[in-house]
């Protein structure tokens, strides 16, 4: 471009970043890259080509990891794990700190390599990706130092299998590796096949800082290699970021394996603009929301919802701003949007947009050069059911629709199967916080968007996955609660298989079900005999799918419970405990009839009462945090209930076991559908009257007796259930985890059905963590 031309339209001239060092590095690896296993690079195996998406040029040959490569890497990680975990937190911190320093020393190299490999603009890799990578390692060096004091009683998982996507290759690597190492785990990580190069450069940094061999292993390859890591028997925890589709496959693949699992998946995040928003700032917000990283961002604000009153002005300003975006050479410092990561992804974007066009949406587009580029795109006239409103496009395409009232806005915002993020724009902070509380999303940005920091948790609700990365909540995802110790005494006889033996006449003498605050006859009309130590002790309703569905419906209508104050909930739970206490003798007698020795029965009831008081006490104390993140931001980490939870209770200690699940769940504001001990359900059905007299609102606790695993299956499959706890057999646990994949509900399974619930590990904060999900709300302040 000549100076005359530049002066004509006042656009910037080209300002390419020098890529010589990266070219030299690629040249020095011309023979191809092997994996990084046990502290050294392997010789390249069968390789695949990696291309620079902006030029289409092949830049490297990278090894396709085989099952045997993965096995070697897992073995190396296993061998290294014990001594890595044995190091003091301080020693581990020194390594993480050294990695952070070296990332900073190589910052320019990494930024250029990332831009070449991924296609994202150098301005982003230089100013966002790489600084955040260093920040992540510094932050987690800190966690390594203090985790023992700050997160006591937890232990590392062991070996972590981690699979990451291509949209933030190095940043996602740091989100995975830093907390895992800080917690004392070792890792086998697979970068995405489109963008493996910065992970390999990172491996060199690990070698450079002298990280002990086997602590970090990088295996390259495609989804098959990823599958081999996730399916490897000796992996203790799986962490995945990528598409919801693959996330569900991984949920199925890991079901019943006992592996820890966190999933950070797709999104279709709303960007809500109220009439009193600073419109210019909100327009600039859209640029950061959807045109950042070519829209290839899981938390991208992909659905603009704008108040009708300002919609026209907003759209005009936005369209004007869109036209000024410069799409082109990622290495040019003046480029706003670079290349799409791969022609396959470009094709996917084009196809989805074509489907939208066929549905009649109106498109406005900026400009983009030929090649693997896509112009910034604004779609209006979009119906909520349009593919452009529902599908994650993962490209620079945003939809714009209008709303009238704040409650319309909330409804539209939540009209998605995802729940990763939301951005809310209004000068009225009360309104913003009110909407933030109602939006189902793990991250909410008020008057800002796509702000990321290691000090805040990140992760989704619903089909955007579960678990958090970053901050205290992210560290917890790499530490586990030790296995429970001790067996329950007086274990009941093996579970009776329910049958329709009671007959319909017997139902009137039978403990019914408890649904929506009322005792309900089971849909089947049948009951089953409950055996005691000396023969039958009664009949229990034989619940079926229909009863579970009714119970879930009743539970979902009890949403007011989650909005009640912790103080309100505490009062109800205290009262509940008091009322059990008033009938302690009856409860103990019931347990004795099941065969418990008198002292054990009495102790079980007493512990159950104490447990009521403990969780009542926690109801208004298990609070979140104000995280230390960016300057001039308050980042609020709020513990929110999951919603409706299915609780499948242990066989033994039928009163204490059931309450050990119910109490933490309801203390945190969930409503629950409880499947009590199949063998001794009457210990739970005796609670009906206590529930009725304790002011527990209708629908908060629903109880369905009957065949445990059948009922558990219906609960796990139900899309209205947000969380599932199951105590029972290994097969049942595997079934629950697999069936939960449908809506990716959070699960916790315990396969030691004979465990003792009376000890300290039968209650505690671990249960409260499992009953909640953290929402991080970012509120900037100042000018």
Site track 273-312 with ligand NAI (rule: CB under 6 A), x = hit: -------------------------x--------------
Assess 144 for contact with ligand NAI (CB under 6 A): no
Identify the bridge partners of residue 466 per DSSP, sorted by sequence position.
263
Question: Residue 602: is it exposed, middle or buried by C-beta count within 10 angstroms (0-12/13-18/19+)?
Answer: middle
DSSP 487: B
Which residue's CB atom is positioned nearest to ligand NAI? 226
CB of 124 to ligand NAI, least distance (A): 16
CB of 39 to ligand NAI, least distance (A): 23
**Does 119 help bind ligand NAI (rule: CB under 6 A)?**
no
Q: Which two tokens stand for residue 768?
A: 């409260």
By CB under 6 A, is residue 348 in contact with ligand NAI? yes
Q: Give the C-alpha distances (Å, rounded to integers) separating 704 from 521, 573, 750.
A: 10, 21, 20
Spatial distance between the Cα atoms of 697 and 558, rounded to a whole number of angstroms: 7
The pair of structure tokens assigned to 347 is: 């094709």
* Closest residue by Cα to residue 345 from 123, 129, 112, 166: 166
Phi first, then psi: what are they for 298, rounded to 5°?
A: -65, -30
Using an 8 Å Cβ cutoff, are 239 and 179 in contact?
no
> Can you tell me which residue has the tokens 């513990």?
639
CB of 443 to ligand NAI, least distance (A): 13
Nearer to ligand NAI, 19 or 253 (CB): 253
Q: 156-175: which residues touch ligand NAI (CB under 6 A)? A: 163-167
End-to-end CA distance of the chain: 38
Does the active-site annotation cover 264? yes
Q: What is the dihedral of CA 172, 173, 178, 181, to 10 degrees?
A: 140
- Can residue 98 be called a binding residue for ligand NAI (CB under 6 A)? no
> Counting contacts by CB under 6 A, is residue 186 touching ligand NAI?
no
The stretch among 202-210, 236-244, 544-552, 620-628 that binds ligand NAI (CB under 6 A) is 236-244
Q: Are 488 and 757 in contact (CB under 8 A)?
A: yes
Task: Report the residue from 154, 246, 439, 600 that binds ligand NAI according to the rule CB under 6 A.
Answer: 246
Distance of alpha carbon 616 from alpha carbon 319, whole angstroms: 53
242 touching ligand NAI, by CB under 6 A: yes
227 interacts with ligand NAI by CB under 6 A: yes
| Residue 170 or 600 with smaller CB distance to ligand NAI | 170
Token reading at 83: 């001594």
Q: Which of these ranges, 71-79, 81-89, 187-195, 553-561, lies near ligand NAI under the rule CB under 6 A? A: 187-195
Pick the catalytic residue: 17, 114, 124, 264? 264
Given candidates 45, 212, 223, 343, which one binds ligand NAI under the rule CB under 6 A? 223
Residue 541 touching ligand NAI (CB under 6 A):
no
Burial class (CB in 10 A: 0-12, 13-18, 19+), 2: exposed
The answer to whether 241 contacts ligand NAI (rule: CB under 6 A) is: yes
- With CB under 6 A as the contact rule, the residue among 74, 192, 475, 644 that binds ligand NAI is 192
What 8-state DSSP symbol labels residue 712? H
Task: Report if residue 193 touches ligand NAI, rule: CB under 6 A.
Answer: yes
- Residue 343 in the binding site for ligand NAI (CB under 6 A): no
Q: Which two tokens stand for residue 342?
A: 């791969």
470 is an interface residue for ligand NAI by CB under 6 A: no
How many residues in the shown chain lie near ligand NAI by CB under 6 A? 26
Contacts of 146 (CB under 8 A, 6+ apart): 89
Show the site string, 372-411: x = touches ligand NAI by CB under 6 A, - = not.
--------------------x-x-----------------
- Report whether 616 contacts 643 (CB < 8 A): no
Answer yes or no: are the C-beta atoms of 257 and 178 closer than 8 Å.
Answer: no
Residues that bind ligand NAI in the complex, under the rule CB under 6 A:
163-167, 190, 192-193, 222-223, 226-227, 230, 241-243, 246, 249-250, 265-266, 298, 345, 348, 392, 394
Active site residues: 264
């Amino acid at each position: 471009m000549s100076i005359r031309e530049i002066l004509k339209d006042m656009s910037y001239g080209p300002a390419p970043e020098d890529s010589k060092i990266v070219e030299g590095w690629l040249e020095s690896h011309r023979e191809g890259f092997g994996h990084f296993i046990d502290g050294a690079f392997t010789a390249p195996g069968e390789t695949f080509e990696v291309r620079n998406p902006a030029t289409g040029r092949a830049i490297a040959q990278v090894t396709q990891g085989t099952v045997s490569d993965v096995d070697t890497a897992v073995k190396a990680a296993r061998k290294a794990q014990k001594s890595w975990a044995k190091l003091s937190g301080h020693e581990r911190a020194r390594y993480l700190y050294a990695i952070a320093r070296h990332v900073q020393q190589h910052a320019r190299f990494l930024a250029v390599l990332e831009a070449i490999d991924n296609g994202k603009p150098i301005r982003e890799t230089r100013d966002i990706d790489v600084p955040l990578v260093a920040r992540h390692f510094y932050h987690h060096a800190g966690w390594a130092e203090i985790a023992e004091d700050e997160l006591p009683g937890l232990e590392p998982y062991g070996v972590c299998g981690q699979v990451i996507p291509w949209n933030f290759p190095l940043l996602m690597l740091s989100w995975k590796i830093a907390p895992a190492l800080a917690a004392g785990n070792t890792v086998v990580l697979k970068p995405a096949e489109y963008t493996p190069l910065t992970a390999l450069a990172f491996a060199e940094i690990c070698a450079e800082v002298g990280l002990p061999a086997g602590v970090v292993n990088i295996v390259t390859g495609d989804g098959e290699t990823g599958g081999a890591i996730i399916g490897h028997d000796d992996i203790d925890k799986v962490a995945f970021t990528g598409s919801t589709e693959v996330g569900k496959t991984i949920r199925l693949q890991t079901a019943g394996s006992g592996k820890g699992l966190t999933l950070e998946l797709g999104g279709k995040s709303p960007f809500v603009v109220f009439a009193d928003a600073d419109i210019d700032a909100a327009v600039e917000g859209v640029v950061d929301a959807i045109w950042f990283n070519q829209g290839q961002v899981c938390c991208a604000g992909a659905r603009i919802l704008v108040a009708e009153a300002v919609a026209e002005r907003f759209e005009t300003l936005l369209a004007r701003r869109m036209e000024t975006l410069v799409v082109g050479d990622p290495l040019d410092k003046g480029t706003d949007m670079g290349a799409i990561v791969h022609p396959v992804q470009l094709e996917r974007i084009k196809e989805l947009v074509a489907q939208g066009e066929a549905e009649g949406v109106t498109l406005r587009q900026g400009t983009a050069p030929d090649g693997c580029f896509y112009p910034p795109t604004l779609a209006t006239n979009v119906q909520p059911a349009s593919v452009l409103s529902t599908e994650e496009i993962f490209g620079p395409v945003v939809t714009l629709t209008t709303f009238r009232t704040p409650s319309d806005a909330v409804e539209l915002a939540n009209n998605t199967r995802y729940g990763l993020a939301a951005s809310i724009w209004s000068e009225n902070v009360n309104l913003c916080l009110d909407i933030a509380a109602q939006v189902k999303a793990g991250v909410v940005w008020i008057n800002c968007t796509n702000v990321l920091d290691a000090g805040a948790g990140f992760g989704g609700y619903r089909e955007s996955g579960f678990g958090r990365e970053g901050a205290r909540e992210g560290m917890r995802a790499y530490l586990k609660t030790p296995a429970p110790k001790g067996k329950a005494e007086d274990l009941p006889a093996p579970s009776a298989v329910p049958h329709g033996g009671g007959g319909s006449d017997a139902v009137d003498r039978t403990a019914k079900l408890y649904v929506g605050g009322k005792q309900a006859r089971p849909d089947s009309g049948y009951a089953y005999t409950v055996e005691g130590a000396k023969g039958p002790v009664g009949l229990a309703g034989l619940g079926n799918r229909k009863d579970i569905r009714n119970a879930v419906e009743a539970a979902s209508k009890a949403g007011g419970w989650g909005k009640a104050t912790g103080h309100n909930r505490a009062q109800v739970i205290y009262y509940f405990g008091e009322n059990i206490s008033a009938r302690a003798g009856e409860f103990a007698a019931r347990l004795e009839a099941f065969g418990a020795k008198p002292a054990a029965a009495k102790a079980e009831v007493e512990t159950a009462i104490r447990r009521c008081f403990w969780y009542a006490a926690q109801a208004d104390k298990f609070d979140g945090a104000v995280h230390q993140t960016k300057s001039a931001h308050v980042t609020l980490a709020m513990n929110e209930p999951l919603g409706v939870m299915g609780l499948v209770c242990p066989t033994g200690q039928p009163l204490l076991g059931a309450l050990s699940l119910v109490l933490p769940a309801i203390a945190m504001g969930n409503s629950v559908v409880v499947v009590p001990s199949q063998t001794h359900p009457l210990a739970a059905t005796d609670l009906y009257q206590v529930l009725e007299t304790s002011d527990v609102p209708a629908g908060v606790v629903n109880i369905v007796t009957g065949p445990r695993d059948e009922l558990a299956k219906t609960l796990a499959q139900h899309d209205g259930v947000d969380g599932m706890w199951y105590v029972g057999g290994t097969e049942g646990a595997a079934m629950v985890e697999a069936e939960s994949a449908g809506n990716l509900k959070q699960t916790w399974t315990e396969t030691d059905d004979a465990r003792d619930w009376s000890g300290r590990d039968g209650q505690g904060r671990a249960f409260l963590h499992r009953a909640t999900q953290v929402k991080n709300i970012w509120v900037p302040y100042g000018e």
